[in-house]
Structure 1
Amino acid sequence: MRTELLEVMAQIITAHCYWIRVTDITQHHAYAFVRDGHLMMTTCRHLTLEVTRSRGLYYLGHKWHVSEADLDQVLSIMLREDPSLHRRCHEGTLTKEDVEILVNRASYGIIRLDMVDDDYTPPAFSCHTRNNRTNPSTNHPQ
């Protein structure tokens, strides 16, 4: 997979996913696959995703490493299913639906990004004081 395509995927995930962020697209990790009935080991790049908000069984800081080899394999299947995807890949204009399907299939159905329609901007951190609590019913004038 081209680095530019991985970067486009990372930008789309960052812009539309509120509970996962891309931490790295260049890290190499071990990758095992079966060839001719034998287990082979190699290394390849991985798309590293990290949970930024606890959700369901996934806790804050949980990481997944989706291998480039799995992404390539799923992308080739998707290109056969959807001929217009070839143009979008070449131009670097993948849709968020393309990225959601690609990551879901490459992770064997484990990662479901659930992207939002609008660009997601993480909220700025604000310290809670007595005057700006999030639950107004607990604000008691002193």
Structure 2
Amino acid sequence: MRNTIYRQMVFWIQSQRTWVEVVSADCYREYVHFRKGRSNRFVSRSLVLRAYRRNGVFRKGKTWSVAERALDRGLANYRRQNPLFRQRIRLGASYLTPKDSEAIVRLATYGIVRLELVAVPRNINFNSY
């Protein structure tokens, strides 16, 4: 995954979170991959997410570590499913939306983590009320 797409996704998750926050976007962990009866170890960057509120069956404090390889797979699947996203992402990482980030994480975690990101209005003048 390109670093710019990864950073934009982390930005959307952190800025529009409802119950999951980003603990670390620069964590490197060792993973084991099984293929044809053999195990291979590799080190990969991981996105570490934590539930800071209770949501459904997930208690406060539950953490998930999503490998960059899984995020790559989720991104590839989302490109196949959504042709409009495929066109937008070719233009650059700044065209990644919160809904795209949510879908990529959902696909990367096999539907376990649903971020439920909410757009927060930025130009609210509370003094006029």
TM-score range relative to shorter protein: 0.7 to 0.9
Task: Name the SS for the 2:64 alignment partner.
Answer: strand
Between the aligned partners of 1:120 and 1:104, the Cα distance in structure 2 is 24
Cα-to-partner distance string for 1:3-41 (whole Å, 9 max, x where unaligned): 221111111112222111112111111222222332222
Structure 2: 5+ residue stretches without partners: 123-129
- Residue 71 to residue 120, structure 1, CA distance change in 2 (3 Å): farther
TM-score normalised by structure 2 residue count:
0.80
Kept in 1, the 8 Å contact 2:77–2:107? The answer is no
For the aligned residue pairs, the C-alpha RMSD in angstroms reads 2.0
Structure 1: 5+ residue stretches without partners: 122-142
Higher helix share: 2
Kept in 2, the 8 Å contact 1:16–1:120? The answer is no
Between the aligned partners of 1:99 and 1:28, the Cα distance in structure 2 is 21
Q: 1:112 aligns with which of 100, 106, 114?
A: 114
Task: State the percentage of identical aligned residues.
Answer: 30
Task: Give the length in aligned residue pairs.
Answer: 120
Kept in 2, the 8 Å contact 1:45–1:68? The answer is yes
- Residue 120 to residue 13, structure 1, CA distance change in 2 (3 Å): farther
How far the C-alpha of 1:87 sits from its partner, in A, is 4.0
Between the aligned partners of 1:65 and 1:119, the Cα distance in structure 2 is 26
How far the C-alpha of 1:86 sits from its partner, in A, is 3.3
Higher strand share: 2
- Residue 120 to residue 114, structure 1, CA distance change in 2 (3 Å): farther
**Higher-Rg member (1/2):** 1
> 1:10 is matched with which residue?
10
Q: 1:103 aligns with which of 96, 102, 105?
A: 105
How far the C-alpha of 1:75 sits from its partner, in A, is 1.2
How far the C-alpha of 1:120 sits from its partner, in A, is 7.8
1:1-142 correspondence to structure 2 within 5 Å: 1-90=1-90, 91-92=92-93, 93-116=95-118, 118-119=119-120
> 1:128 is matched with which residue?
none
How far the C-alpha of 1:81 sits from its partner, in A, is 2.7
- Residue 120 to residue 57, structure 1, CA distance change in 2 (3 Å): farther
Kept in 2, the 8 Å contact 1:29–1:46? The answer is yes
Between the aligned partners of 1:20 and 1:85, the Cα distance in structure 2 is 24
Kept in 2, the 8 Å contact 1:15–1:120? The answer is no
1:119 maps to a residue whose letter is V
